[in-house]
Amino acid sequence: MKNFVITKKAYGKTNLFLRCLRKREDSFTEIETLFLPVPSVCDTLSFSFDDSGVIRMECDNPSLPCDGGNLCVRAAEKFLEAAKLAGKGVTIHLEKHIPIAAGMGGGSSDAACTLLALQEFFGGLSEKALALLALSLGSDVPFFLRNTPCIGTGRGELLTPILPRKGTVFPLLFAAPGFPVSAKWAYTHLDWARLPEKPVLAEAVKAVEEGDIPLLKRSLRNDLQAALLEKFPLLQILFQKFRSYGGTPLVSGSGPTVFALFESEKARDEMWEKEKDAFDKEHIVFFKG
């Protein structure tokens, strides 16, 4: 029995707003986005430390790699190198619940969790150094070091926290179809000619800060979703189902998870109660935000 010294929760995320501005010279896309943590779906990571000089990983999902192909292992490698901790070892155990390659940032969240656990145990890195390590692992990873609603610009790594009005509840439902979509595919198939002028980020930010759900429903945007809706007809069916209950649907990040924002928790819970069994039979992961 291993003695796990640190246990952490890695939350999911969604993007209430995602606008693509231009293709950058470094091959990334300049974006404006509004990140929202989704604590209702999370992975659990446990860490133990030793002097073996070896990074080990275990996962309860056999479809995930447990070698250098996993962001957690790469995060640990980068941290130990940057902190000059040669000879130190870590064992990472991952219980996976966030849908994989589903636009909810699961791998990025796990990587950020790993960095935070290593920093908590070993220390040695400044906040800036930790953020740079996070960015080297992926554009979304810096957000998960904060796990608070944030505006994201640049690649999404330039973060400005925002504070929703006290007591604000965002009545969200999520449906993850169960097949993966890579962020690279979503950005590669972006149709620049079809991008709308509105809504704009300022409206979505105002809606979140003021807890204005009707305004937020009008302000939802994801420039990546057109290609996803065309490629995967099931997503169109999910959109129609959410709309039939009064929800305003949007693809989460680079997809294929779809979420919907409802006017109230009551309206959301009505769909939840009526559809959860049907979604389960279709092997669609259905959960509240």
Could you state, in order of their start, the residue ranges of all structural domains in the chain?
6-160, 167-288
Residues serving a catalytic function are 13, 140
The predicted-structure confidence for 112-131, as pLDDT tens digits, reads as follows 999 999 999 999 899 999 99
Among residues of the chain, what percentage have pLDDT more than 70?
99
CA-based nearest residue to 34, from 19, 20, 21, 17: 17
The predicted-structure confidence for 239-281, as pLDDT tens digits, reads as follows 999 999 999 999 999 999 999 999 999 999 999 999 999 999 9
pLDDT at 154: 97
Question: Looking at the predicted structure, is the pLDDT value of residue 1 above 50?
Answer: no
What the block records as the tokens of 114 is: 């790993």
Question: Looking at the predicted structure, is the pLDDT value of residue 2 above 60?
Answer: no
User: What CATH number does domain 6-160 carry, 2.60.40.10, 3.30.230.10, 1.10.760.10, 2.60.40.3500?
Assistant: 3.30.230.10
Among residues of the chain, what percentage have pLDDT more than 90?
97
Confidence (pTM): 0.95
Question: Looking at the predicted structure, is the pLDDT value of residue 220 above 60?
Answer: yes
Average pLDDT over residues 93-100: 97
The predicted-structure confidence for 149-187, as pLDDT tens digits, reads as follows 999 999 999 999 999 999 999 999 999 999 999 999 999
Average pLDDT over residues 86-91: 94
pLDDT range class, residue 3, cuts 50, 70, 90: low
The CATH superfamily holding the domain 167-288 is GHMP kinase, C-terminal domain (3.30.70.890)
The predicted-structure confidence for 19-45, as pLDDT tens digits, reads as follows 999 999 999 999 999 999 999 999 999
pLDDT at 4: 67
